[in-house]
Amino acid sequence: MARRAIVAANWKMNGDLTLVNTMVTGLTNVELQDNVSVVICPSTPYLSSLVTKVKAEQLNTAICIGAQNVSEHESGAYTGEISTKMLRDLSVEFAIIGHSERRSYYKETSTQVAHKVNAALNAGLTPILCIGESEAERATEQTETVLASQLQPVIDEVGIEKFIDVVIAYEPVWAIGTGKTASSEMAQETHQFIRQFLAQANENVAAKVPLLYGGSVNASNCEELFAQADIDGGLIGGASLQVEQFKIICSAAKGK
């Protein structure tokens, strides 16, 4: 069974043209193991420069570009929104969808997230679907219920077969940007739950979906996390803004 590993950089509302340039230059000699993709997700204004620079430097084709969000609508009067087609026009291949910051600050619901995943898949973009529980939810043993309630609307809308083209990022909200990483055992246990949940709908698809861990992943803890049976890489925030650290994380990932 070949399951691709993915390391995705979520720059959030950080970075600038200098980072675009230093990241691409840094990635010219990154060492990647078998069956690994790297996805850089800058803020929208830098997507175009990033695409141009990646092409100019003829980076390894395993290095791809992603957006941090996308509209569920095809086109129309949605001021400030960006459509799947616009991203495809720029050669963007991935889109982070349903990040916990979008769910909490911009009130994105799991239904809206499902519409976005559907729109992305229809346009040939690979969604990086983010799910995760809050600290209070973990403390009250609701983690599995919460994750199921975030996954089920997407399965209902797009159908489990389409998950073959979906990447899932499990990010416990309490671990994002806090320096508190889930232990590798805790992360593995939760990833195993997610894979089993998908397997109830389709075992074959579940075995192939890359499950990324996110939340304070750095150059020191990535190796242990990525060694877990159901962890297929990571969604990296803070550490993805530091080129050398990010390269170490990319090199630690390995397809399973």
Q: Which entry of 99, 101, 115, 191 is annotated as an active-site residue? A: 99
Q: What tokens appear for 133 in the block?
A: 């529980």
Among 64, 182, 236, 252, binds ligand PGA (CB under 6 A): 236
CB of 52 to ligand PGA, least distance (A): 25
Among 117, 154, 176, 187, binds ligand PGA (CB under 6 A): 176
Q: Which is nearer to ligand PGA, 104 or 122 (CB)?
A: 104
Other CB atoms within 10 A of residue 11 CB: 22
Q: Rounded distance, CA 128 to CA 159, Å?
A: 16
Which one of the spans 32-40, 111-119, 190-198, 211-219 is the region binding ligand PGA (CB under 6 A)?
211-219
Q: Which is nearer to ligand PGA, 64 or 235 (CB)?
A: 235
221 is an interface residue for ligand PGA by CB under 6 A: no
| 171 a catalytic residue | yes
In sign, the C-alpha dihedral spanning 147, 8, 217, 32 is positive
Among 160, 214, 226, 253, binds ligand PGA (CB under 6 A): 214
| 137 a catalytic residue | no
Q: Rounded distance, CA 4 to CA 228, Å?
A: 14
CB of 135 to ligand PGA, least distance (A): 14
Helix segments in the chain, DSSP class H? 17-27, 47-56, 84-89, 100-105, 110-122, 135-139, 143-158, 184-201, 203-208, 222-226, 243-252
Q: Which is nearer to ligand PGA, 120 or 160 (CB)?
A: 120
Is residue 133 a contact partner of residue 173, using CB atoms and an 8 Å limit? Answer: yes
- Residue 204 exposed, middle or buried by CB count within 10 Å (0-12, 13-18, 19+): exposed
Q: Annotated catalytic sites, by residue?
A: 99, 171
Q: Which residues bind ligand PGA (CB under 6 A)?
A: 10, 171, 176-177, 214-217, 235-239
